[in-house]
Amino acid sequence: MISALIGLAVVLILSVLGVPLAFATLFVGVAGITMLRGFDAAVGLTSQWVMESSMNYGLSVVPLFILMGAFIHRSGISEELYEASYAWLGHFRGGLSMATVFACAGFAAVCGSSLATAATMSRVAMPPMRKFKYNDALSTGTIAAGGTLGIMIPPSVPMVIYAIIVSEDIGALFIAGIVPGLLLVSLFLVAIVIVVRMRPEYGPAGQSMPFVERFRKSLGVYPVIGLFAIVLGGIYSGIFTPTESAAVGAFGAYLFALARGHMRTLKDLMGALGEAIRTTAMIFAILFCGLVMAQFVNLTGMPFELVDLVTGENAVIGQTELIIAICIICVIMGMIFEALGILLLVVPVFLPSLEALNVDMIWFGIIIILVVELGLITPPIGMNVFTVKAVVPDVQLWRIFVGVTPFIFAMLGGLVLLFLFPQIATWLPDLMR
């Protein structure tokens, strides 16, 4: 166990020093296996693991959903999502922040990336919120928190990777994320209402629109809602496998962008394909190198020593205590790593212990996604916060952290509800079975 802990500490140090996570985990994994089995064995085993992992058919869903997100992103739908949400909510106090949450949820449903959602909505939502004199802390906090929905509301790449790691059904995990995602949206709205009730000047009411204008503003987002329904509805009904659903979604997103006047030139198409290829390559590099690190940890025996701690004769940790400990670890790591890195470093270590305690891995997947989201906005780092700061550099960092504080409490409330009522995450997947 000591060797594994040292290896994880080295990965953390290298990441803080700026070494890309893929290189850090590969270096530590190969070095650790070399110490345990010798250099020749390390090279042979590493190449074998990477080759076998790359041939996993389930991974084919990743580039397709990324391509779907690239097409949607380049279609300019983020502005229309925001305008539609504002048309219905803008006349309420704090309505622009509420509209931002809904726009983030809608964009996340077809994007699947927290950082991309935060960056995009920062450009879309900040100008109108400043126009209506919204407090910068509330504005930036809403965007940073709303961006976290990108990995909870399906389709979500981190959910795909988690499902592959724990050998669970990708479609079931996608379906499981729907109700928790809607719950988080609701809790975010409650947080905004509380903030503007305490500080009315933070979110003054905007202009009211006639119902005809509201419906007109909403027309542009219906195709995206339809695409989302086809992708998840096809999985839920059994018409599509997750991979087929991703292919349908990518093609539908391309047609949607084409109908809106985008993607009509070879340059635009190559740009979207290039974006998807670069993102896929980055994700696969992190995945394959992370699996090498996970195998090193397995060879040290650490996961099996943890099993003894929770199931042995002298067990000192129960199911609840173990999950709470994992949640704390994930929140802390979320301040430094993106979601994918956390899943690859944490889940393989604790997977044998979770299975020994008969933990529902679908429910646990939603739990760990939520705590990873929490880590993305938790001080002192919080990657979503720094993403918003990069797009809106004139807002002081501490003001953004002040702005996300109510949403941190909202997410903690959601986490408690998931612990008390696991059916929130398991109800829809159970209906599939």
Cα-atom radius of gyration of the chain, to the nearest Å?
Answer: 22
**Mean pLDDT rounded to a whole number for the chain:** 86
108 pLDDT above the threshold of 80? no
Q: Please, how many CA atoms are within 13 Å of residue 222, restricted to the half-sphere of its CB? A: 6
> What is the rounded distance in angstroms from the CA atom of residue 309 to the CA atom of residue 162?
24
Q: Each residue of 62-103: pLDDT tens digit?
A: 888 888 888 887 877 777 788 888 788 878 888 889 989 988
Q: Each residue of 187-223: pLDDT tens digit?
A: 999 999 999 999 998 988 877 788 888 888 777 777 7
pLDDT category, 367, cuts 50, 70, 90?
A: very high
Positive/negative CA dihedral, 311, 313, 318, 323: negative
> What is the rounded distance in angstroms from the CA atom of residue 377 to the CA atom of residue 298?
31
Q: Please, how many CA atoms are within 13 Å of residue 206, restricted to the half-sphere of its CB? A: 22
Phi, psi of 291 (to 5 degrees): -70, -35
Q: Is residue 39 part of a domain?
A: no
Residue 316's pLDDT is what?
Answer: 64
* 266: Cβ contacts below 8 Å, ≥ 6 apart: none
Which residue in 331, 251, 342 sits closest to 293, CA to CA?
342
Q: Give the global pTM.
A: 0.85
Mean pLDDT of 266-280: 88
Which residue in 79, 50, 42 sits closest to 284, CA to CA?
50
Q: Is residue 406 part of a domain?
A: yes
Which residue in 182, 174, 163 sits closest to 234, CA to CA?
174
Percent of the chain at pLDDT above 90?
A: 24
259 pLDDT above the threshold of 70? yes
Residue 312's pLDDT is what?
Answer: 60
Mean pLDDT of 244-262: 88
138-152, 254-268, 388-402, 408-422: which is most confident: 408-422
Helix ranges (H only) for 75-177 are: 77-89, 95-111, 114-131, 136-147, 157-166, 170-176
Q: Which long-range contacts does 268-275 make (Cβ < 8 Å, 24+ apart)?
A: 268/74, 271/74, 272/67, 272/70, 272/71, 272/74, 273/67, 273/70, 275/70
Q: Each residue of 121-137: pLDDT tens digit?
A: 888 889 888 888 899 99
Which residue in 73, 78, 99 sits closest to 221, CA to CA?
78
Q: Is residue 280 part of a domain?
A: yes
Q: Is residue 46 part of a domain?
A: no
230 pLDDT above the threshold of 90? no
173 pLDDT above the threshold of 70? yes
Q: What angle do CA 255, 261, 264 make, to 5 degrees?
A: 70
Mean pLDDT of 16-23: 84
Q: Each residue of 327-362: pLDDT tens digit?
A: 888 887 776 777 788 888 888 888 888 988 889 999
pLDDT category, 109, cuts 50, 70, 90?
A: confident
Per the structure, the count of domains in the chain is 1
Give the residue numbers spanning the domain of 210: 59-432
Q: Which two tokens stand for residue 105?
A: 């949820």
pLDDT category, 144, cuts 50, 70, 90?
A: very high
Q: Is residue 226 part of a domain?
A: yes
Q: Is residue 6 part of a domain?
A: no
CB 82 within 8 A of CB 124: yes
Positive/negative CA dihedral, 418, 420, 424, 429: positive
Q: Is residue 201 part of a domain?
A: yes
CB 263 within 8 A of CB 273: no
